[in-house]
Structure 1
Amino acid sequence: MLPIFQAIPALKGALSDRETAVLVAPPGAGKTTAVPLALLGESWVGDGKIVMLEPRRLAARAAAARMAQTLGEAVGETVGFRVRLQSKVSAKTRVEVVTEGVFTRMILDDPGLDGVACVIFDEFHERSLDADLGLALARDSQGLLRDDLKILVMSATLDGARVSALLGDAPVVESQGRMFPVETRYLGRNDRLRLEERVGRAVERALAEETGSVLVFLPGQGEIRRAESWLAERLRRPDVDLAPLYGALDPAEQDRAVQPAPAGRRKVVLATSIAETSLTIEGVRVVIDAGLSRVPRFDPSSGLTRLETVR
């Protein structure tokens, strides 16, 4: 049983008594896929729908797919999603997973959020401009137009007291989750080798010494493609599949990377930071971090923001 189920009775009670609540649950507790379905049967939902915000398109699609699978349905029936350039919803949809930008447009078009019983802000600790704006607009709607609208803020790493104060001293519900032993190995840095070769050798070692699939974090699409080429040329393991994962990738390829490896096979997922939150890639036992990240930096001389690769 997922750890989040222990916190759901308290969460239901909090939302029955108040219009706002905060849920703090560690990664892997199951909050993203379990909470919307658990709230769906509450009396205050009625015939309305639950809208849940995700920071990334991949996370929105994956969450919708997992919840639909739990119900034994196809995406677009009880559970659907809407992201930029793609949607799967129907008249039957009761839980709608959307990206933060889509929600902003939704509430600007309909400030009263007609037909919506609850808005869930998932992974709120990422604190994007769209998420902050969406929460501000939802609070305005709640205060001026919809005193029955429920707002739930969820996160794995969040100062619950501060967000509670922001929501008018909303009750804070915590899930303790489960912790598993993690062994950290530092392989050192050899700057004479290109990044893709250093990563490739680490993957070869992980596949030889450990079981299960491997998740590799790289700073960007270019590094992912070069590491994929290096491994495709030198990896002599017919039971291993290579799966890149980044934002610009075709949605079908993204979904293939997130899905568990077929029986008897292993997978090496080469990902950007897109896989850091909101996603659980089944079967992964080893995580390799290249130690580099691509972040936006403001350049005062040009007045522009550019991407910079940093340790």
Structure 2
Amino acid sequence: MTNLNALDPAAVAEEAAIEHDGVVIAKSRIILRRFLRNKTAVAGLVIFVALTLFSFVGGYFTSWDKETIDPFNIGMGPSAEHLLGTSQAGIDLYSLTVEGTRISILIGLVVGLVSVLIAAVYGCTMAYFGGKVDKVMLFILEALIMMPALLVVAVATSGGGSGLKSNLPSWLLLIIVLLIFSWMGTARLIRSLSMSLMQRDFVKAAQYMGIPPRRIVWRHLVPNIGSLLVLDVTRGVTGAILAEVAFSFIGIGIKVPDVSLGVLIGQATSQVSTFPWMFWVPLTVMFLLTGSLAMMNDGLRDAFDPHSSSIGSAAGRKAKKSAKKKTS
């Protein structure tokens, strides 16, 4: 009987190892090494982790919060008492930035992770069953793609969905709306890749052996597009953060009293010349967030690339020895 795992590239990738000069290196370790050798990617990871920690523990380093008003320091610049200054209402900008960063990162992570999961399941299901199932699911996908996302966000967050609006915080409502529209492009790409995988021997062997469809999708289709999914997560997080900032900036995203980077940037735009710290602080944080994610995405793409020039130390030693033999 045919060994199914021996035919499945994903299964082989999990168990396979690369041997150089007697040193056995697992594939996952090679990918990690490639990523860690990319100084730009590591810098992006450090910045993102630092901002995430700042958003969750930064509030413990100040006695002010986002709701307390300091009547003696209204619209004041950075000082010893208020590290980043205060807003026009006298609220500590440091506390607002901590809260806004946390909400923006939360929106990005939830939308980025969940949307990719939905896209993977939906796209692989379309490819596996094909036929009428694929046609119906593709019709639904195309119909959702044609829906005007901007209009739906505006209606959902401005009170048009009265019941939801009164019961859910604006940031959670925005997450739900973004999840509706953020997975469809990835799902179409995954469908195309999965259809090619359906013609591979290891999938056909699994079908002949009577393995349930759910297990085939999760065990054989999804792992073979794992690198694409990982890259789409970082892109999805970046896209969700930028979408939150854009929607909140034009007034249809996060609503006061909830705070986000988009809200802070939008409120300070008209006073950028009078209160520059209110504008540049959240804008700088947003650039650091999206920039760090972009650097991580580039590093992950190189790490997953089988033709990457980032090789292990053992491989490097072997390459040097081969070069010496050729020259001698």
Q: Greater RCO between the two (CA within 8 Å, min separation 6)?
A: 2
Using structure 2 for the length normalisation, give the TM-score.
0.19
TM-score (norm 1): 0.20
Give the structure with the higher percent strand: 1
If you compute each CA radius of gyration, which structure gives the higher value, 1 or 2? 2
Of Structure 1 and Structure 2, which has the larger fraction of its residues in helix? Answer: 2
